[in-house]
Structure 1
Amino acid sequence: MDRALDRRSLLKLGVIGAAATLGAGAPLAEAQDKPKRGGTLTIGRNHDADTLYPGRSTGLSAIATNLLLYDGLVLHDFQMKIRPGLAERWEVSPDGLTWTFHLRKNVKFHCGASLTAQDVKDHFDRWIDPKEAFPTRAKVTSLAETRVVDDHTLVCKLKNPTLVFLNNVSQTEWGYASVPHAKHVAQYGQDYGVVPASICGTGPFKLKEWTKDDRMELVRHEGYAWGSPAYDNTSAPWVDRIVFRTLPEDAARAAELEAGGIDLDIDVSPQHIARLEGKGVKITSIPRLSSNHIGFNVEKDIFKDVRVRKAVAHAVNRQEIVQFVMKGQADVAHGFLHPLVPGATPKEQMRPLMSDFSLDKSKRLLSEAGWTPAADGLRQKDGKPLQASLYVFTELHERIVTPVQAQLRQVGFDLQIKRLESAAFTTATRAGEHDARFLPMIYSSPDFLYFFVSAAIPSPNTVRWRDDKTDTLFHQSQVTLKETERVKAFQGIEQRLVGEAVVVPIQHIRWIFGNRARVRGLKYHPIHGIYKLQDTWIV
């Protein structure tokens, strides 16, 4: 079975083993401390969750929160090995079409109700229902139906054998397969996941309060006894509560971390590392399977022309961004996928498809597309100026694309950066208001390329790329039983996206965390960072 990213690749990446610690950090005696119960862990993040309904959001804050509030059938541990979750065991039929899951007994939802197979079935049924329009539905295109055998046994019938079904229903595959309480979902309908009282999972923490775009408080799920085997502590968490504070400005989070207003910043900006080092803050930097891109809305007139898209690509100086904006906490991208993800095209094969940094080539392509220089230095066509909007939703994203704005100005292109708060950004890009957007991608396998199939429009396919070849290749990746054919299909999609300049790859970033010395037992998952926080305690 596909394991998303194997141990060998993780070792190459440096995820397994010691993460890089920058600065003095916590005292060496930390490892000798014994966990104790109690305390509040306050975490700063740059945007709030949009919804806490699993599978309804591809937003990182929603996913991170849902991993704490819910559990799934299976999960990936810190070595990316699939382990039992709510399912204590499972079997697959010889033809690969029938998966039988046996659920743990005595699992309770936050409301006190017992978990049953019906809860899992109801969530999976909604997930695959086109009328529900889950933006993540392409993850389970192979699932035909889910049947309940008894309270603790369910059967998933597939349309076709696939290498990736178990991986795709793992909770660690972005929390989409997290199981909410079916009765709560039925009771609240479209309000589930948005109204705080609606939210009910089986996870180690439960939601207490949520003030949108400000503060979210989770409290320990007392009696929790079915925790992730990825942790030493599989019972209820050590900390009493977790408080998430939404602090969009990087400098504000750094100041709060330095002053003790927050205990942990899960997204430290590179330019604040030096400031925080040695001031009671431990900085940890881990490799991340990620890619940062500029994505074009190819339905907009200006970007329907591939020559204009490639002209923008030629104006992006990736090395400058990595060196001066990211302070070296990233690697220049030579393709769409991280090079260690199975399915990534080798650098040598991508080179002819990548647009190298060349303002001259950018100018030439714009001229070929009919955009001619005007007196003010900008280009125009049919009396209209060459300008486009680029939407971003964090301060760091804005800093990353600012050099691109300056370079495009040199070729006569007026790029207008528009920063929105997270919820507004999601609404705007789903509606297709943007000409282009910053596209941060984080993934555990190349299967996330469903973001670019036609059926994923308007979300998560916010670049609105409709392409039969891409759709066919992705379908092939999901139905083949040969790993070599899967790799070939994913490479074909990557080459298509870059060759047609649907996206402009920029960099692969590192994940930077900062924590106060009072926070102990932090373990960072290679995909999800803080993950479940079951071994973390406060001194």
Structure 2
Amino acid sequence: MDRALDRRSLLKLGVIGAAATLGAGAPLAEAQDKPKRGGTLTIGRNHDADTLYPGRSTGLSAIATNLLLYDGLVLHDFQMKIRPGLAERWEVSPDGLTWTFHLRKNVKFHCGASLTAQDVKDHFDRWIDPKEAFPTRAKVTSLAETRVVDDHTLVCKLKNPTLVFLNNVSQTEWGYASIPHAKHVAQYGQDYGVVPASICGTGPFKLKEWTKDDRMELVRHEGYAWGSPAYDNTSAPWVDRIVFRTLPEDAARAAELEAGGIDLDIDVSPQHIARLEGKGVKITSIPRLSSNHIGFNVEKDIFKDVRVRKAVAHAVNRQEIVQFVMKGQADVAHGFLHPLVPGATPKEQMRPLMSDFSLDKSKRLLNEAGWTPAADGMRQKDGKPLQASLYVFTELHERIVTPVQAQLRQVGFDLQIKRLESAAFTTATRAGEHDARFLPMIYSSPDFLYFFVSAAIPSPNTVRWRDDKTDTLFHQSQVTLKETERVKAFQGIEQRLVGEAVVVPIQHIRWIFGNRARVRGLKYHPIHGIYKLQDTWIV
């Protein structure tokens, strides 16, 4: 059973059917156009992938690229229904402990080798091995072992029945279950996913060139004939190649989109919507399950005190950020989880746990914590200034937290925003250099809360939250066979994180795309946007 976002929730979000088109629409003739092969699709994005080894990264650019380079056993279609991928069918035993996957035949890796069940076993075995230290290992904690029956049959034995196993091994669940070529992984070891020559999947595109933090070129996987029925085109993609250009500055991407230097911007900044409208660019906005938030490194002395964390929370004016920074392209957060995610606590229940915007309350809490104003109004304690770093990795993120920096200065708190390139941000937060960090936190189900379990330290649990109650609740969410108990467990985690001010929820954003008219057949997935680009072509 699919326990990600259900169809009813997607309908509420307005994803199924049509996305909201803000700018000039594509010509009506597009409906009559027929797909044709050829052309290059150039995509602008604000950061590059750190590694292309599935499951080794929770970075959004790595995930988006891996969806194009690899395939998984199953995936979710545009209505979030699980469809066949590399597995043409599967069965589960009556006790829920044994899953048998029957693989498609004649599937080829980019190197020309045939896919076998051993490739799937190799990836899954590495994924669950504690020594391999995959940051996404919590996704498959229920998996005990795998067994190859023959070249096209794999058996997965679980430790316990669970509602979420098939969902968690879907490629849609952030590409972690994408299958790389086992021989390439063994050959390159720790360099797999980083050295371009190492990367080998079965996906519709294969890597040709990669200049880190600049340009990545993918070319069509000729002979690809095992695409998912989620797409109209299940054979090789229409476009010859995809070029990703890393353009960290929002204005630079907007300028390139306007001038034709890129065909598609997958992360248009709200401030540039008006500029791009009517200039040959189609702007599309879709709801996105997200929890933009500030998270504190609770191992740092300054944020070990919950009063200081709550003082920061009271300095966040959510309404102002949504109105002036996001130009209305977000919803004010009334809790941590998106309200349409199963497991979100009702707004009324979250209200007493959420810190409202109040600089008076912020000052009072800082006074109670022993931080007193000096002559210049800035606070200190035992001769040390009240100062902390907040790490971000995109221009938009910096703009979102800048108003918080200004509000905190009014209460005597010196918050220093440090913007890093994406890979440097990942390295620094994994190492615990930050006092706090901002994350957009995009997800498909409340199972992403494994980001806050103790076993996920140092990454993705970069807030270093060690809490027996959180760990117990998350474990319950993964082993229960009752949906009501899963919901209750996730609500408990949400209330714990917000009540202890481990995180400061800000907003739930919309996903804004901009494309030039020559790009046709774009279909945006509710979780992954461009997804696998099987039906897209260039005119």
Which of the five TM-score ranges fits, normalised by the shorter chain? over 0.9
**Alpha carbons 1:389, 1:417 under 8 Å: kept:** yes
CA deviation after TM superposition for structure 1 residue 119, in Å: 0.1
| SS of equivalent to 2:291 | strand
Question: Over residues 23-68 of structure 1, what are the superposed CA-to-partner deviations in whole Å (9 max), with x where a residue is unaligned?
Answer: 1132111111000000000000000000000000000000000000
**Alpha carbons 2:2, 2:82 under 8 Å: kept:** no
Is 1:178 aligned with 2:174? no
Distance 1:71 1:312 in 2: 43
**Alpha carbons 1:317, 1:404 under 8 Å: kept:** yes
CA deviation after TM superposition for structure 1 residue 347, in Å: 0.3
**Alpha carbons 1:25, 1:280 under 8 Å: kept:** no
Residue equivalent to 2:415:
415
Residue equivalent to 2:358:
358
CA deviation after TM superposition for structure 1 residue 228, in Å: 1.8
Question: Over residues 65-92 of structure 1, what are the superposed CA-to-partner deviations in whole Å (9 max), with x where a residue is unaligned?
Answer: 0000000000000000001000000000
**Alpha carbons 1:316, 1:404 under 8 Å: kept:** yes
CA deviation after TM superposition for structure 1 residue 229, in Å: 1.2
- Tell which deviates more after alignment, 27-36 or 520-529: 27-36
Distance 2:85 2:421 in 1: 34
- Tell which deviates more after alignment, 208-217 or 14-23: 14-23
CA deviation after TM superposition for structure 1 residue 234, in Å: 0.4
CA deviation after TM superposition for structure 1 residue 376, in Å: 1.3
Question: Over residues 166-212 of structure 1, what are the superposed CA-to-partner deviations in whole Å (9 max), with x where a residue is unaligned?
Answer: 00000000000000000000000000000000000000000000000
**Alpha carbons 1:331, 1:509 under 8 Å: kept:** yes
Distance 1:26 1:6 in 2: 30
**Alpha carbons 1:52, 1:199 under 8 Å: kept:** yes
**Alpha carbons 2:2, 2:81 under 8 Å: kept:** no
Residue equivalent to 1:491:
491
Is 1:6 aligned with 2:6? yes
CA deviation after TM superposition for structure 1 residue 141, in Å: 0.3
Residue equivalent to 1:225:
225
**Alpha carbons 1:292, 1:506 under 8 Å: kept:** yes
User: Identity rate of aligned residues, in percent?
Assistant: 99
- Runs of 4+ in structure 1 displaced over 6 angstroms? none
**Alpha carbons 2:322, 2:507 under 8 Å: kept:** yes
Question: Over residues 260-307 of structure 1, what are the superposed CA-to-partner deviations in whole Å (9 max), with x where a residue is unaligned?
Answer: 000000000000000000000000000001110000000000000000
Distance 1:447 1:515 in 2: 32
Residue equivalent to 2:89:
89
**Alpha carbons 2:42, 2:262 under 8 Å: kept:** yes
Distance 1:56 1:281 in 2: 35
Distance 2:15 2:338 in 1: 14
Distance 2:6 2:389 in 1: 39
Distance 2:430 2:86 in 1: 33
Residue equivalent to 1:466:
466
Distance 2:274 2:482 in 1: 48
Distance 2:357 2:205 in 1: 48
**Alpha carbons 1:256, 1:262 under 8 Å: kept:** yes
Residue equivalent to 2:78:
78
Question: Over residues 218-257 of structure 1, what are the superposed CA-to-partner deviations in whole Å (9 max), with x where a residue is unaligned?
Answer: 0000000011211100000000000000000000000000
CA deviation after TM superposition for structure 1 residue 147, in Å: 0.4
Distance 1:378 1:260 in 2: 48
How many residues get paired?
A: 539
Distance 2:73 2:329 in 1: 35
CA deviation after TM superposition for structure 1 residue 329, in Å: 0.1
**Alpha carbons 1:85, 1:227 under 8 Å: kept:** yes
Residue equivalent to 2:49:
49
**Alpha carbons 2:296, 2:435 under 8 Å: kept:** yes
**Alpha carbons 1:392, 1:437 under 8 Å: kept:** yes
CA deviation after TM superposition for structure 1 residue 522, in Å: 0.1
Q: TM-score, normalised by structure 2?
A: 1.00
**Alpha carbons 1:386, 1:412 under 8 Å: kept:** yes
**Alpha carbons 2:310, 2:501 under 8 Å: kept:** yes
Residue equivalent to 1:289:
289
Gaps of 5+ in 1: none
Residue equivalent to 1:272:
272
**Alpha carbons 1:25, 1:277 under 8 Å: kept:** no
| SS of equivalent to 2:441 | strand
Distance 1:8 1:50 in 2: 35
CA deviation after TM superposition for structure 1 residue 453, in Å: 0.2
Is 1:107 aligned with 2:113? no
CA deviation after TM superposition for structure 1 residue 2, in Å: 3.5
CA deviation after TM superposition for structure 1 residue 3, in Å: 2.9
Q: TM-score, normalised by structure 1?
A: 1.00
Is 1:135 aligned with 2:135? yes
Distance 2:2 2:288 in 1: 20
Distance 1:493 1:15 in 2: 27
**Alpha carbons 1:335, 1:350 under 8 Å: kept:** yes
Distance 2:319 2:151 in 1: 56
Distance 1:24 1:5 in 2: 30
Question: Over residues 356-399 of structure 1, what are the superposed CA-to-partner deviations in whole Å (9 max), with x where a residue is unaligned?
Answer: 00000000000000000111110000000101000000000000
Distance 1:301 1:17 in 2: 50
CA deviation after TM superposition for structure 1 residue 459, in Å: 0.3
- Tell which deviates more after alignment, 20-29 or 401-410: 20-29
Question: Over residues 413-456 of structure 1, what are the superposed CA-to-partner deviations in whole Å (9 max), with x where a residue is unaligned?
Answer: 00000000011100000000000000211111100100000000
Distance 1:352 1:131 in 2: 42
Question: Over residues 281-340 of structure 1, what are the superposed CA-to-partner deviations in whole Å (9 max), with x where a residue is unaligned?
Answer: 000000001110000000000000000000000000000000000000000000010000
Distance 1:111 1:481 in 2: 42
| SS of equivalent to 1:106 | coil
- Superposition pairs for residues 328-347 of structure 1, below 5 Å? 328-347=328-347
Distance 2:385 2:217 in 1: 48
**Alpha carbons 1:196, 1:209 under 8 Å: kept:** yes
**Alpha carbons 2:203, 2:221 under 8 Å: kept:** yes
CA deviation after TM superposition for structure 1 residue 535, in Å: 0.3
**Alpha carbons 1:263, 1:515 under 8 Å: kept:** yes
CA deviation after TM superposition for structure 1 residue 108, in Å: 0.2
CA deviation after TM superposition for structure 1 residue 402, in Å: 0.3
| SS of equivalent to 1:377 | coil
CA deviation after TM superposition for structure 1 residue 17, in Å: 1.1
**Alpha carbons 1:3, 1:81 under 8 Å: kept:** no
Gaps of 5+ in 2: none
**Alpha carbons 2:48, 2:62 under 8 Å: kept:** yes
Distance 1:313 1:393 in 2: 21
Question: Over residues 477-524 of structure 1, what are the superposed CA-to-partner deviations in whole Å (9 max), with x where a residue is unaligned?
Answer: 000000000000000000000000000000000000000000000000
Distance 1:250 1:415 in 2: 24
**Alpha carbons 1:391, 1:437 under 8 Å: kept:** yes
| SS of equivalent to 1:237 | coil
Distance 1:262 1:26 in 2: 17
**Alpha carbons 2:3, 2:163 under 8 Å: kept:** no
| SS of equivalent to 1:207 | strand
**Alpha carbons 1:3, 1:80 under 8 Å: kept:** no
Distance 2:460 2:231 in 1: 32
**Alpha carbons 1:313, 1:501 under 8 Å: kept:** yes
